[in-house]
Structure 1
Amino acid sequence: MTRVLLAPDGFKGSISAAAAAAALAAGWRGARADDVIVELPMADGGEGTLDAFLVAVPGARRMPVTVTGPHGREVAASWVLLPETPEAPGGTAVVELASTSGIELLDGDLRPFDADTRGFGEAIAAALDHDVSRLVVAIGSSASTDAGLGMLVALGARVTDAEGLDVAPGLRGVRAAAGLDRSGLRALPAGGAVVLTDVRSPLTGPAGAAAVFGPQKGLAPDDIADADTALARAGALLEIDAAHPGAGAAGGTGAALLAWGAELVPGAERIADLIGLATAVGEADVVVTGEGSFDASSATGKAPARVAALARAGGRAVGLVAGRISPDADTSGFAAAVSLVELAGSTEAALAEPARWLAVAGESLARRLG
């Protein structure tokens, strides 16, 4: 009998980490019914972060909240309340940008100049209203390039133009921003705030938020320079170092969180610590991880890299399953690697039935690693 740890990240735009783990487990049991399987969905600060905490932390509770989405309409979202501890007697709140102001909420209708982070700030405000002792905020999968100003407005700040009027939401407002009044800005909880992100980009420049991530959010090539100038203006208003690693995360939301007093940390690494990944790996004989697209960048802060590193350090066999495995990806550290696209025969087929093909992958890995 083998003890198996299944710790995949979500397959972006296809299936959540929790559902992916469940499908892998079903497939594994089809080949090795007597094995003990532990499902521990992973995340790196993007979508699926709340689910990872709900599965891993006993007593974690989902707290519903209605916020303003990146399209300007109401979104039924939630944050997660972690149990009280001596260090956090009021509990810890986990708030996820992806489910409140994330790009998936736009359903393909990108709004490069108008999407903002107001909903994310509203969810943080709801957690503060609950008198939590500390915050953990995850800022992956952003829809906007608003330097986090929408979030700050939702938390009580005021952003004004040269005439003293409130600016519009999104990048459109950042371009007009001339003043930032923090007098009404809510304070951090007593235990502070930790920001989970897998992005180490500066706020501005060729590696900054506009240049690297703006096109994903709908910015045309001719818009990048103007957006970068606007972000530089926002950085000056926020009084932060624009070169700080992670300031450019989530369209500059990292910069606003720095200005608020939060600490930016590598998402996958901190989530792994918070959900007890090292202990789970130590108790396993075989570990399986994965994500939607495994490529050369997967080794730089992504959840599967963290899982694999812990597994190899403990001498555990580790398998990989990914929607697609890029030709430039180094899979030499895995005892077995499976691509859903190869199993299904095409990207379209893999995306149409991810749970089916993950089950097939789970069965294949069980035969090879069990």
Structure 2
Amino acid sequence: MQKALRVLITPDSFKGSATNQEVADAIALGWKKVRTQDEINCFPMADGGEGTLETFAMRFPRAQRIKIEVNFHEKQKRIATWLLLDDGTAIIELAEACGLTHMKVLDPLKASTFAFGQVLKSAAENAQVKKIIACIGGSASTDGGVGALIALGARFLSASGDSIQLGGVGLKEIHTVDFSEMIKPPQLGSTCLADVNNFLLGDNGAAKTYGPQKGATAKDIEILEAGLKRLMEVSKKNDFPGAGAAGGTSFGLNFGWGTSLNSGAKVIAELMGLREEINKSDIVITGEGKYDLQSAQGKVVGLIQELSAEYKKRTLLCVGSSDVDFPSNHLSGVVLEDLAGSKEAAMSDSLQWLVKAGELLAQQV
């Protein structure tokens, strides 16, 4: 009889086709068809982008869900949620408050982080909150986080003394800034989580790199770049790696609220106890929608590979598609695109192919 193994299944989401929980459950189902005796631990992971809030909610079922009404976009209102953990940590997700997926029509110039700032304000004013973890992936805006700062009480004024327009289009109007009436962060401060190292400005910056996926034309990008440049001039701060995350939100929050910036995957792994779970396991399975050379740069899969190697645990990959050849890079795993015959086929019935991948992974042991 085969020895029973402890198998940790800890994927990121497959964006556009399956959540991290769905991915983990489907792989587990397939694995169990082949190796019924193994003990499986499904442990979905995230990197600070869309879905991070729900990942924390699954890991910490006792966390309080706090709902507030926010002014989302162009007078639209919606209900946003943040989590309060038992230790006083508030988990806030920008994508949940005002992310790209909530936009009925993309509006690259006028979309803002104001609703995100309203959620930050709600947490900062809560007496139980000791620190804020702000997950900032999946944004729809390129406003340098100014909308969030305005929601927190900051005033960004034009040369005529009027408040600037919300959105990236208003940044070029900034003449003076007044932080005197801002809500203060909680006693242990606030941290932004992101998985990118882009600068605020330049070819690798927020507007030029991510503007197009938010609907920005070439002309829009010029306007957004000029606005972010004006924000930097007014702030008297230097650009830094990661400043361009979420349309410059990490830069703005650092400028106005003293918010630090950290790797999403690393902080989330620490808060959720991933290291301990890996240490207890015999085999670790991880994956994401697309595996490429950037996967090792602060993303979930790269971090899990690193931790698994540290504890000398065998790692298997399950990915939607891959730009990296597994055998020549000493990687073991399954690529759904290869299984299904095409990317379209893999995405159209991803759960079916994830179950099949689980079977194939179990056969590699």
TM-score tier by shorter-chain length is over 0.9
Query: What residue number does 2:81 align with?
Result: 78
Could you say if the C-alpha distance between residues 329 and 317 of structure 1 is closer, same or farther in structure 2, counting changes exceeding 3 Å? closer
Query: What residue number does 1:88 align with?
Result: none
**Is the counterpart of residue 129 in structure 1 residue 132 in structure 2?**
no
Could you say if the C-alpha distance between residues 333 and 261 of structure 1 is closer, same or farther in structure 2, counting changes exceeding 3 Å? farther
Q: Among 24, 28, 37, which residue is 1:34 paired with?
A: 37
Query: Counterparts of 1:106-255 in structure 2 under 5 Å?
Result: 106=103, 109-131=105-127, 132-241=129-238, 243-255=239-251
Cα deviation, residue 319, structure 1: 0.9
- Name segments (4+ residues, structure 1) moved above 6 Å: 328-331
- In the TM superposition, what whole-angstrom CA distance separates every residue of 1:261-312 from its partner, at most 9, and x where no partner exists? 1111111111111111110000000001111111111111111100111112
Distance 2:325 2:216 in 1: 27
Query: What residue number does 1:22 align with?
Result: 25
SS of alignment partner, residue 161 of structure 2: coil
Give the TM-score taking structure 1 as reference length.
Answer: 0.92
Could you say if the C-alpha distance between residues 13 and 35 of structure 1 is closer, same or farther in structure 2, counting changes exceeding 3 Å? same
Give the TM-score taking structure 2 as reference length.
Answer: 0.93
Q: Among 58, 65, 68, which residue is 1:65 paired with?
A: 68
Could you say if the C-alpha distance between residues 352 and 37 of structure 1 is closer, same or farther in structure 2, counting changes exceeding 3 Å? same
**Is the counterpart of residue 47 in structure 1 residue 44 in structure 2?**
no
SS of alignment partner, residue 40 of structure 2: strand
- In the TM superposition, what whole-angstrom CA distance separates every residue of 1:41-100 from its partner, at most 9, and x where no partner exists? 11111112112222333632332233233565223331111112xxxxxx1101011111
Check the 8 A contact 2:109/2:220 in 1, yes or no. Answer: no
Q: Which stretch shows the higher mean deviation, 67-76 or 47-56?
A: 67-76
Could you say if the C-alpha distance between residues 133 and 111 of structure 1 is closer, same or farther in structure 2, counting changes exceeding 3 Å? same
Partner amino acid, structure 1, of 2:320: G
Could you say if the C-alpha distance between residues 212 and 342 of structure 1 is closer, same or farther in structure 2, counting changes exceeding 3 Å? same
SS of alignment partner, residue 318 of structure 1: strand
Check the 8 A contact 1:201/1:249 in 2, yes or no. Answer: yes
- In the TM superposition, what whole-angstrom CA distance separates every residue of 1:116-168 from its partner, at most 9, and x where no partner exists? 11111111112123220111111111111000011111111122222222222
Query: What residue number does 2:284 align with?
Result: 287
Could you say if the C-alpha distance between residues 77 and 247 of structure 1 is closer, same or farther in structure 2, counting changes exceeding 3 Å? same
**Is the counterpart of residue 300 in structure 1 residue 297 in structure 2?**
yes
Distance 2:122 2:330 in 1: 43
Structure 2, gaps ≥5 residues long: none
Distance 1:367 1:309 in 2: 24
**Is the counterpart of residue 314 in structure 1 residue 317 in structure 2?**
no
Q: Percent identity?
A: 39
Check the 8 A contact 2:326/2:333 in 1, yes or no. Answer: no
Query: What residue number does 1:367 align with?
Result: 363
Distance 1:78 1:21 in 2: 24
Partner amino acid, structure 1, of 2:363: R
Could you say if the C-alpha distance between residues 179 and 346 of structure 1 is closer, same or farther in structure 2, counting changes exceeding 3 Å? same
Distance 2:149 2:246 in 1: 14
Distance 2:358 2:323 in 1: 20
Partner amino acid, structure 2, of 1:125: K
Distance 1:331 1:214 in 2: 35
Query: What residue number does 1:262 align with?
Result: 259
Cα deviation, residue 14, structure 1: 2.0
Distance 2:290 2:328 in 1: 13
User: RMSD of aligned C-alpha atoms?
Assistant: 1.9
SS of alignment partner, residue 193 of structure 2: strand
SS of alignment partner, residue 253 of structure 2: helix
Partner amino acid, structure 2, of 1:113: L
SS of alignment partner, residue 289 of structure 2: strand
Query: What residue number does 1:348 align with?
Result: 344
Check the 8 A contact 2:156/2:177 in 1, yes or no. Answer: yes
